[in-house]
Structure 1
Amino acid sequence: MRLLLVGDIVGSPGRKALCEYLPRIKRAKRPDLIVVNGENAADGRGITRAIAGEFFGMGVDGITLGNHTWDKREIFDFIDDEPRIVRPANYPEGTPGQGYTHLRFSRGELVVISLMGRTFLSSLECPFRTADAILKSLKENVPVLVDFHAETTSEKQALAWYLDGRVSAVIGTHTHVQTADERILPGGTAYLTDVGMVGPYDGILGMDKDLIVKRFLTQLPVRFEVATGKVQLNAVLLDLDPATGMASDIRRIRIDDDHPWFD
């Protein structure tokens, strides 16, 4: 089983980059399933029904979210009706939407779990214990992808070691900068601290760099806006053993001015 996880898609530049590069990646790498993080897809914050439909129309199989899940109010109108979209599972019981889902394809299935870290983010339920509860409900050896939307490297590494041998992969999102620490842990779980983002190349985490610099210089409130211009795409490709659910390979994908498209 080959899985492509695409990093946080930021605003219209990110959506355009995905539209341009995803077909090429599909032809070159032939993933069985494609998952994207879409929590920044609408103007840099949140997601809409139309944008989710746009992603599914491109061949995306599942969408994960994060701390900007609720930034577009219309999400309350459709999140309960769309099982291919998952928000962090460690939100309190009764929160709209679902924290994990089963994605099926011709040769099997994949469980996608969304979790959010608690360091420097909202005080949600424990992601470690939430993962335990979900895994207890699943059948043995089913491949499981965990999108861990968290701020700190230590929390991401800790969850990966905690889940090693019990899930196929723990891949970090949220910080928008791709890390170079991909590995397969001893128990067979693939790990990457952050997959990176899809969107503006010359911004700061996808936002207009001048506005961000102004914020640091003045310490005054600034309305962030999605940057324009050149784009980048960051993703990770995972090969999973459908019999055991464990990873056999993990490879980063990075496309930008310094890393042009590969054949």
Structure 2
Amino acid sequence: MRLLFLGDIVGRGGRQAVAQRLPKLRDDWRLDFVVINGENATGGMGLSGNHARALFEAGADVVTLGDHAFDQKDMLQFCEQEPRIIRPLNFSKVAPGKGARVFTARGGQKVLVAQVLGQVFMKRPFDDPFSAVDAVLRQYPLGGMVQASLIDMHCEATSEKMAMGHFCDGRASVIVGTHTHVPTADAMILPKGSAYQTDAGMCGDYNSVIGMKKDEPLRRFITGMAKERFEPALADVTLSGLYVETDDRTGKAKRVEQVRQGGLLSSAGPA
């Protein structure tokens, strides 16, 4: 199976880049299943229902959220109505929506998608992500209930993301980090067969401060004072993510490559 994961979509520029480029990538790379992290797609903070629909229309099979899951208030109801939205498993026991679901890929394969929030350096104390993921992977073992599984580890600390990768190695097809918006150069297949990357990066303008226009972040770093709201940068956007090929029988990864399409970080991608 051919899987594509795209990192955090940032603002209008990120949404437009996905709409323009994803349909062609689906055809050119013969993708079976596409997952997108959309938690910054609406003004850089959260995801609205309308913008979620646009990502699905562009070719996403599933959209994951993150710590900004419900910054756009209509998502509280929308994620209950739209099963293709995945919010973090450990966000809150009373949060609407689901943190893990099984979906059907274009070829009929069953694919588990789950997301979890880390604890290190995050603004609020979330429940233990490791026990949350463990319960889901026990319920949906590779090669049994599902032919592939993808875990979106949404957190600050690279060490926590790497720990989750090794914790899930051999039990999930893909473990990929999101949230910090800067792609790491460590896409690999772990010893027990799982594809891994510490952070997929963002689908946004890299001539920025993690996707935001530079002036206000710089002001805050230099003076310690806020003057204006952060606004997403709108110049050339790079689609950043991870391409993975899996074995349908075992669910293990056979190939993994970083994806950088357009903008400042463009590279060729899968051939």
| Mapping 1:154-165, distance limit 5 Å | 154-165=159-170
Distance in 2 between residues matched to 1:65 and 1:259, nearest whole Å:
24
5+ residue gaps, structure 2, are none
For 1:78-123, what per-residue CA distance to the aligned partner results, in whole angstroms no more than 9, with x for missing partners? 1111111111101232221100111102331110010111111121
Distance in 2 between residues matched to 1:173 and 1:139, nearest whole Å:
23
**Structure 1 residue runs of 4 or more that deviate by more than 3 Å after TM superposition:** 256-263
The counterpart of 2:126, out of the listed 124, 138, 146, is 124
Give 1:164 deviation, angstroms: 0.9
Partner residue in 2 for 1:178? 183
Give 1:24 deviation, angstroms: 2.6
**1:218 and 2:218 equivalent?**
no
Q: Are the aligned partners of 2:200 and 2:240 in contact in 1 as well (CA < 8 Å)? A: yes
Give 1:176 deviation, angstroms: 0.5
For 1:171-222, what per-residue CA distance to the aligned partner results, in whole angstroms no more than 9, with x for missing partners? 0000111111011111101110011111223111110111111110110124
Partner residue in 1 for 2:7? 7
Q: Are the aligned partners of 1:144 and 1:168 in contact in 2 as well (CA < 8 Å)? A: yes
Alignment-mate amino acid for residue 121 of structure 2: F
Partner residue in 1 for 2:199? 194
Deviates more, 1:211-220 or 1:139-148: 139-148
Number of aligned positions between the proteins:
263
Distance in 2 between residues matched to 1:50 and 1:92, nearest whole Å:
24
Distance in 1 between residues matched to 2:132 and 2:263, nearest whole Å:
40
TM-score by length of 1: 0.96
Q: Are the aligned partners of 1:147 and 1:172 in contact in 2 as well (CA < 8 Å)? A: yes
Partner residue in 1 for 2:240? 234
Distance in 1 between residues matched to 2:62 and 2:267, nearest whole Å:
24
Identity %: 40
Deviates more, 1:219-228 or 1:113-122: 219-228
| Mapping 1:1-263, distance limit 5 Å | 1-105=1-105, 106-121=107-122, 122-141=124-143, 142=146, 143-222=148-227, 223-260=229-266, 262=268
Deviates more, 1:219-228 or 1:46-55: 219-228
Distance in 2 between residues matched to 1:258 and 1:225, nearest whole Å:
19
Q: Report the 3-state secondary structure (helix = DSSP H, G, I; strand = E; otherwise coil) of the residue aligned with 2:74.
A: helix
Q: RMSD across aligned C-alpha pairs, in angstroms? A: 1.4
TM-score by length of 2: 0.93
Q: Are the aligned partners of 1:201 and 1:256 in contact in 2 as well (CA < 8 Å)? A: no
Distance in 2 between residues matched to 1:231 and 1:189, nearest whole Å:
29
Distance in 2 between residues matched to 1:140 and 1:169, nearest whole Å:
11
Alignment-mate amino acid for residue 108 of structure 2: R
Q: Report the 3-state secondary structure (helix = DSSP H, G, I; strand = E; otherwise coil) of the residue aligned with 2:68.
A: coil
